[in-house]
Structure 1
Amino acid sequence: MPTPLSRIPARALVTALLAAAFCAQAVAALRPHIPLLVAATVASLAVEGVLYRWHRGMLSVFAKSHADITVRHVLRDLLLVVALLRLGEQHRETLYTPLVAGLLAFYALHCAIQAVSVLVRRTRTLPVVTRNIDASALRLSPAPPALLRRPGDRLPAFGLPATAGLLATAATDDPRCAALGIALSLGLALLGLYDLLVRLLPSRRPASERETLAWLDAWLAEYRPTVGLYFSGGAASAYQANMWLEPLAQLEGRPLIVLRERFMVQKIGPTDVPILCLPKVSTLMRLEQSTLQALIHPSNSGKTSQVLRIPTLKHTFVNHGESDKLSSCNPYAKAYDEVWVAGPAARERYALAEVGVEDKDVVEIGRPQLDAVQPYAGPPADARGGAADGHRTTVLYAPTWEGWDGNPGNTSVIEAGENVVRALLADPGVRVLYKPHPLTGSVDPRAGAADLRIRELIRAANRERVGEQSRETGELARCSRELDRLTTTTVRASADQVERMLLQSAPEPGRAEAVARATAAWEEAYWASLPEGEHQVVTDLRPTLYACFNRADLLISDVSSVISDFLASGKPYAVANTSGLAEDVFRKAFPTVRAATVLTPDAAGMPELLDAVRHPEKDELVEARAELKRHLLGPDEPTSQVRFNQAVQALCSAAREHQVRMAERLAAELHPTVAARRAAEVPDQRRSVTPQQPAHPA
């Protein structure tokens, strides 16, 4: 893939060619010079094709410079008309007047199509976006063709016959060519306009906003949700919600997912839980009249404060991961009714941070996502023999990203990443799984550059391991097709949200169990398809981080939630210290490092670390890891999912009790007799105060 710097010359060249083509076309039209006119027009059309095929980003640059596709297309046709009128014969103005009129009519139709397409888009923009919900009552229908909705695509497609006809007439001096081309363009435009106008008929348009909101109220009354997952954020943050999908689906009651951004509906992973996207605050407030009792928040966002205003709901913050970083005890957490954490360590972290979260509001639930992490069962069979016997130690290097505060200790990628990977690759008995954080390089370009160098190191190491060929991937391909069939709905690329709502309606019964089986089969086929000992760079959605946990014998990471999660396995782990702190200070500052092997940026202790992994009798941190696991994640029994469910039920019960109290209070305030009796029971403050004795008695 070319780097952004390498694309700059190509973009500059394309821009220069397009400008030169228009200049040459203008000169040829004014002279006139037919061969130059034909060559320049063809060249400009060819450059347009290159723009749309390989440099679509340049289209927005042209638009910002007031040289969008409409301006360029009108200019191209105008120069062709000028050339025709300047060919020298006096009767040409009369001859070409109908053609010019037809061309103007085509552009008028183009503007009309654009105006009507905006109206159609507005009628198809509903106040609610759904998934896993039967919303057919909203008169959902397929979206109009993409050509009718995108003027940048429509004008070149519909206008090309007219341009080609004008160019052919200039070359052949036969006006019938221009007439045919313009007629074709007019016909296409009329068909497009008719298609859009039909969609504005009352019977063809989706439900109105009033009808949609009435349907929403009816659906909420029928489904009767009890607990919801509330999420708002950017496209790259969807993983924060996705990690809670399976625990949410296993809860008692009727779960619901509440989103705020329309694009996020498609970012949420495979799930059978109904999804409601409520972009407007006014629509969001309709949840107050529903049976919803509690909302679970895996992250904070600017729109979180909006839903916290609903008084009938209880809110809890579960976070999307726990670590020793300051972000794990954000002061915003005190805005929630409760804060759910994994174990005692997080409770202590909030107490020490003094951010306003009271201890009584902290509930330990474990990490239900980690129930699928397999416990440590010792080193792999015959691991002592090393690569000579065909067995290798699998090491997962999963560094976190650089963060927002510029702390050099946030990520090891910049200062230690290459050293860590080189030290691992130097051992022939090691197999490396490299899984960088999705946001690596998003803040500090040095992290992105180091990430690319690490990937190249791994690719080079794989090339040196001769004799290792990929295994048969037929089973993996079959499992991938089956998993895709269960988890994805075939939706054309040009589908809009209304069409997706139509296609992504209520799932078939039993799909969740089928997805779980297909996922397990895919993971087994994936690992089996890889050559023995081949290093891997894992960046796709599958396999997941927890699937990599189950394959790894050792984790190397940074101070992040990855460490806490990996402790569920009980396996050895190491932390790269790039903070500049001494090791004893580093361990004291970050309790999650207490049972880890601390690596310096030069990764000097790697041989000793690998030796301890291969020979458990040399591992001196076994008991420390077990104790730290209990401290971070809580007890093994009951399971985290059970504790999570119990916490949800308790919070819902508290919400119901609160709603009953509020209803009784409201009823008392509305009933005059009860209100008067309550007023009589409350002593008058002025009468209850003992009169003060005069300072100077008479």
Structure 2
Amino acid sequence: MPAPLSRIPAGALVSALLAAAFCVQAGAALRPHVPLLLTATVVSLAVEGVLFRWQRVVLTAFAKAHADITVRHVLRDLLLVVALLRLGEQQEPLYTPLVGGLLAFYALHCAIQAVSVLVRRTRTLPVVTRNIDASALRLSAAPPVLLRRPGPRLVLFGLPATAGLLTTAATGDPRCAALGVALSLGLAVLGLADLLARLLPGRRPVGEREALEWLDAWLAEYRPTAGLYFSGGVSSAYQANMWLEPLAKLEGRPLIVLRERFMVQKIAPTDVPILCLPKVSTLMRLEESSLQVLIHPSNSGKTSQVLRIPTLKHTFVNHGESDKLSSCNPYAKAYDEVWVAGPAARERYAYAEVGVEDKDVVEIGRPQLDGVRPYQGPPSGPWTTVLYAPTWEGWDGNPGNTSVIEAGENVVRALLADPGVRVLYKPHPLTGSVDPRAGAADQRIRELIRAANRERAVPRPRDTAELAALTRELDRLTTLAGRPGADQVERMLVQSAPEPGRAEAVARATAAWEEAYWASLPEGEHQVVVDARPTLYSCFNQADLLISDVSSVISDFLASGKPYAVANTSGLAEDVYRKTFPTVRAATVLTPDAAGVPELLDAVRHPEEDELADARAELKRHLLGPDEPTSQERFNRAVRELCSAALAHRARMEERLAEEVPTEIPDQRRSATPPQRAHP
């Protein structure tokens, strides 16, 4: 039995409609049948518009099958020419110039594409910047998007020719086709002229040599001291963004060094200068700069390249700490120092025996947690807010990585069964990316929460006008300058310097938005939090209790001093589980059936029944270090000390080089005695 249309993917339906339109157009052209020809051609053009607007995945599939927009458009025009020849066999000589004009148009289309590639190459500089005045590189606005995208350009520039051919097929007047082809040719000529003008010496950016000379001059003028080095994929920018505020508060002149061009736009708003150096040869120019320290929040394949610079000291700060083995990666021994939050991480490295010596471990706390509010006592209102923030399933298939699969639904059901609980569910963004069972469980949990909201008599939402205004303001502040069609060179021009005080304005706007967001929610309504806003730390401040898995979420939540629980899906006995994972030491351990949730909620509401308060305070010191001095102060001190070590090392190397006496290597061709030929 055929599947109903509602179950067929939209992309498949649109693809089938386009294929049918071409088949009908071919039949109508060969017969010929003018009404059918007109209808099929119009339908195929309309479907092309639908594909470009809503079904880009289908366009990619067509391109892989060598049926891209160029092939489809040529085929469409070819069928129209065939129809004209069939309709006016006596007028064939009149149509010959039209065919020649079409061929010229397609030749110009190819020429435009070739020149656009040349323009793109001249606008691909060896360095990409943000928050830096790089106008000396002769930066300019990008060519129109239409000239850089062959598919949309061909459809739009070729539309007059296609419309003219259709009109001629309907009326028999060749002048309509001639006018359409002439318009298409004119558009193509104008586009080609625009691109050619951008290749003139005065219109294109400087060459690679001049760009590198500018980079050296800028480094000499700015004289950076410490920098953040980051390389990663599209979804990994959060690992660098969490260190932007601590970096901006450093003494000296901080710098952000990136390796992927796309990452320049992924970094959150900051006043710190950003340099993207894609090539290794360009990266090595940092050796001659004043830069002394590079801070690494993650490991990547390109990390080894920057570690080759002998004048720099490198430290690994990670993007979060947990009891998982990933927090003790053996690659950490490649750095000069490893900066951790507190004594627990120091012990973790010693226990893991991955080659990191204790003298190279420095405790700096977690500067990002300064905004996490401390424990204010038991819930004072009618609702106990519980944050369930499980982590994802990980790459190793360990059942203890995430509680979503085995315990998630049980935990949420147990929470929803208490009429005084408000649930905040914030799953990890990668949930379900490895194990489909985790994704399916995540969807079932969301449906449980939606069903509970339908059953609960939730008051009407409060006025959201203020939230909408704050959202627009925050979007304005956090949206990087530049029009949608800008390329890297144009963005370098318009993002040459941040607005004065922009970072502080973003912080104030974010705080105001978060306050308005939580105030706008219907009282007691459960929430599924999956967007970038509100942040995890904002959810911390709303929660009276956290339920999570063994991850950095627990370590960060401990900064609040509030109660927390961990769902044990590892299969280990509770005593072994606590011993294996120190972050569980002060937690309530839940079994997969979530049987202990009612008792846990009682302890949250009645602090006198909370037997783990002292253990949490001790574990907080163990994981995050002391409250005084602050984490930012310890971070600053660690940077100063490592900068001093880098300068001392550089001075010793220069002194040794100055003391060395060059040894002359004899030239064998001049000093060697020629061999004597033996006499016969």
Kept in 1, the 8 Å contact 2:342–2:623? The answer is yes
Q: Which residue of 2 aligns with 1:191?
A: 190
Structure 1 residues 570-624: Cα deviation after superposition (integer angstroms, max 9, x where no partner)? 1000001111111111111111101000111111111110010000000000011
Q: Distance in 1 between matches of 2:507 and 2:22?
A: 58
Q: Deviations over 1:416-471 (max 9, x none)?
A: 11111111111111111111111111111221222222222222222223341111
Give yes or no for the alignment of 1:13 onto 2:13: yes
State how 1:537-616 maps to structure 2 within 5 Å: 537-616=528-607
The equivalent of 2:94 in structure 1 is: 95
Aligned residue runs from structure 1 range 258-273, under 5 A: 258-273=257-272
Partner of 2:669: none
Aligned to 1:61: 61
Structure 2 contact 270–498 (Cα < 8 Å) conserved: no
Bigger mean CA deviation after superposition, 151-160 or 662-671: 662-671
Aligned mates of 1:345, 1:166 — CA distance in 2: 76
Q: Does 1:523 align with 2:522?
A: no
Letter in 2 for 1:238: A
User: Structure 1 residues 487 and 55, CA, compared in 2 at 3 Å: closer, same or farther?
Assistant: closer
Contact residue 198 and residue 204 of structure 2 kept, 8 A: yes
Task: Report SS of the residue matched to 2:255.
Answer: strand
Is 1:466 the equivalent of 2:457? yes
Counterpart AA for 1:492: R
Do 1:236 and 1:439's aligned partners in 2 also have CA atoms closer than 8 Å?
Answer: no
- 1:205 is the counterpart of 2:204: yes
The CA deviation at 1:331 is: 0.4
- The letter of the residue matching 2:204 is R
Residues paired across the two proteins, number: 660
Q: Which residue of 1 aligns with 2:502?
A: 511
TM-score (norm 2): 0.95
Distance 2:9 2:641 in 1: 62
User: For the aligned residues, what is the CA RMSD?
Assistant: 1.6
What residue identity is the alignment partner of 2:641? A
Same amino acid, percent of matched pairs: 86
Match status 1:32 vs 2:32: yes
Equivalent residue, structure 1, for 2:622: 631
- 2 CA distance for matches of 1:8 and 1:437? 30
Give the aligned partner of residue 438 of structure 1: 429
Tell me the residue number matched to 1:74.
74
- Per the alignment, in what secondary structure is the counterpart of residue 100 of structure 1? helix
Distance 2:89 2:614 in 1: 99
User: 1:92-114: CA deviations, max 9, x gaps?
Assistant: 22111111111111111101110
One-letter code aligned to 1:597: T
Deviations 1:538-577 (A, max 9, x none): 2222221111111111000000000011111110000011
Q: Alpha-carbon deviations, 1:205-231, whole Å to 9, x = none?
A: 112111111111111111110001111
What is the rounded CA distance, in whole Å, between the counterparts of 1:129 and 1:265 in structure 2?
Answer: 8
Residue in 2 aligned with 1:115? 114
Q: 1:289 & 1:548 partners in 2: Cα distance?
A: 45
- Displacement after TM superposition at 1:670 (Å): 5.2
Distance in 2 (CA, whole Å) between partners of 1:419 and 1:185 is 64
Does the alignment pair 1:480 with 2:479? no
Q: 2: CA distance between counterparts of 1:533 and 1:9?
A: 38
Tell me, yes or no, if the aligned pair for 1:18 and 1:47 is still in contact at 8 Å: yes
Is the alpha carbon distance of 1:656 and 1:84 closer, same or farther for their aligned partners in structure 2, counting shifts above 3 Å?
same
Q: For the residues of structure 2 that align with 1:525 and 1:53, how far apart are their CA atoms?
A: 35
* Shift >3 Å, 4+ stretches: 5-9, 670-673
Distance 1:670 1:341 in 2: 43
Alpha-carbon distance between aligned partners in 2 of 1:50 and 1:366, rounded to the nearest angstrom:
53
Of 444, 457, 463 in structure 2, the residue corresponding to residue 453 of structure 1 is 444
SS of 1:86 mapped into structure 2: helix
Three-state SS of the structure 2 residue aligned to 1:273 is coil
Tell me the secondary structure at the aligned position of residue 396 of structure 1: strand
For 1:480, the aligned partner's letter is T
Contact 1:489–1:503 at 8 Å: present in 2 too?
no
* Corresponding residue for residue 412 of structure 2: 421
Aligned counterpart, 2:235:
236
- Write out per-residue CA displacement over residues 280-333 of structure 1, whole angstroms, 9 at most, x where no aligned residue: 101110110110000000110000000000000000001111111010100000
Q: Unaligned stretches of 5+ in structure 2?
A: 665-680
Answering whether residue 319 of structure 2 is matched by residue 320 of structure 1, we say yes
Greater mean deviation of Cα atoms: 623-632 or 204-213: 204-213
State the partner residue of 1:619.
610
The letter of the residue matching 1:551 is Q
3-state SS of paired residue (1:263) = helix
Q: Under a length normalisation based on structure 1, what TM-score does the superposition of the two structures give?
A: 0.92
Distance 2:531 2:345 in 1: 30
SS state of the match for residue 118, structure 1? helix
Q: Deviation digits for residues 158-212 of structure 1, max 9, x if unmatched?
A: 1111111101111111111101111111111111111111111111111211111
SS at match of 2:261: coil
Deviations 1:631-675 (A, max 9, x none): 1111111111111111010000000000001111111225689xx
Which amino acid is 2:226 matched to? V
**In 2: Cα distance, 1:467 partner to 1:408 partner:** 36
Q: Is the 8 A contact 1:557 1:574 kept in 2?
A: yes
- Provide the C-alpha distance between the structure 1 equivalents of 2:498 and 2:12, rounded to a whole number of angstroms: 49
Distance change in 2, residues 1:279/1:8 (3 Å):
farther
Mapped pair 1:498 → 2:497: no
* Residue of structure 2 equivalent to 1:532: 523
| Separation of aligned partners in 2, 1:166 and 1:191 | 22
User: Which residue number corresponds to residue 633 of structure 2?
Assistant: 642
Letter in 2 for 1:660: A
